[in-house]
Amino acid sequence: MKRSLRVVAAFAFLGCASQSHVGGAGASNASASLPDSGAFVIAGDPRDASGSPWSFRGSVDGVRYDLTGVILVPAGPGPFPAVVLSHGSGGNARFIASQVGRTMVTWGFVCIAVDYTHAVDVPFGAPGRPSETGASRANVLRAHMTRELLRRLPYVDNSRVAAHGHSLGAYLQVAWLAEYRGDVQVASHTGGGVRPPQSRIAPAPTVDEAARITVPYQLHHGSADETVPLTWDERLASVLREHGVENALYVYDGGHLAPRSNPLMFDRVRAWYAMHGVR
C-alpha cells in the first residue's frame, strides 16, 4: 500500500489494527478500543480546500459500523491538534466541514466530521435508525468511533483534541462527552443545551447527562433562537457550573443560526481551545 495522502489511504484493522504513516508525521497514540475487523478509507487528499471523504465499515465490540464523513488536514507533516465536528438537522458532514471546518483547518487543526442519523443527502449508515436523531445512543457511538479513528492517523496529536457541534450536533455532543469523558480535552457548541427535567423531547440530552461532563465547555446561542430556547443552554451552563466544570456562555443577537458562522464565535472558540492547551 502506498502511504500517502495523495492516494486512497486504506487503514485495515485486523486484530492488532495496523497503522498508516504519512510523510514525517509522528506516531499516533494507542487506540482505547481496537476494531475487531474493518477498514478506514480516506479517498483523495484531505489537504485540498474541500477536504476528502472517508468511510469506516467494520465491527467494534459487537457493534456494526457503516460510517461516512469528511476530513480536512492542514499542510505540513504534523502532528496537529484535531476537532470532531458534529452537524445539525438538515446538514451532513460535508456541510459542517464547509461551514466550520474550513475556518478551523486554517488554525492548523485536523477537522473530521461524520454523518449522523439525522444527516441528509447521504447514505444512512450504521448504527441506528432514522428515528434515533440528536443525542441518541446510535449517534453517541458514531461520534466516539470517529474520535477513535483519529487515533489511527499519525499526523494527529491525540493529546490535543476538541469537539464542536451545532444544534442536533450540539445535543449529541453533550451525550457523547458525558459517556466518553476521555475523548477530548475541550468542547464548544452553537445552538444546543439540555432539556428541562420534565421534558421528554427525545433528541435533546438530559440534565443527568450534562452533570457527567468534565471537559471545559464553551456555549454560543442566539438571543431570539426560534428552534432551541436560549434557556436550554443557560440550563447546561448552570449544570456545568454546579459540578465545577469551567464553562462560558455567549449570546448573539438573532435566531438559531446567528452564532453558527459568526466570526466572533470563531475567535472565542479558538481562544478557548488555546487556553485549554488545544492549539
Cross-strand bridge partners of residue 53? 70
Place of cell 432514522: 130
Comparing CA positions, the residue from 52, 54, 108, 105 lying closest to residue 79 is 108
Q: Which three cell numbers stand for residue 5?
A: 495522502
Please state the domain extents for the chain.
Answer: 69-275
Comparing CA positions, the residue from 113, 10, 106 lying closest to residue 69 is 113
Superfamily of domain 69-275: Alpha/Beta hydrolase fold, catalytic domain (3.40.50.1820)
pLDDT in tens, the chain (279 residues): 333 332 234 333 322 232 332 322 333 333 334 445 579 999 999 999 999 999 999 999 999 999 999 999 999 999 999 999 999 999 999 999 999 999 999 999 999 999 999 999 999 999 999 999 999 999 999 999 999 999 999 999 999 999 999 999 999 999 999 999 999 999 999 999 999 988 877 799 999 999 999 999 999 999 999 999 999 999 999 999 999 999 999 999 999 999 999 999 999 999 999 999 999
Does residue 191 contact residue 220 with C-beta atoms inside 8 Å? yes
Q: Which amino acid is at 254?
A: G
Q: Give the per-residue SS3 of 195-229.
A: CCCCCCCCCCCCHHHHCCCCCCEEEEEECCCCCCC
Q: Which three cell numbers stand for residue 227?
A: 428552534
Taking the model in full, what pTM does it have? 0.88
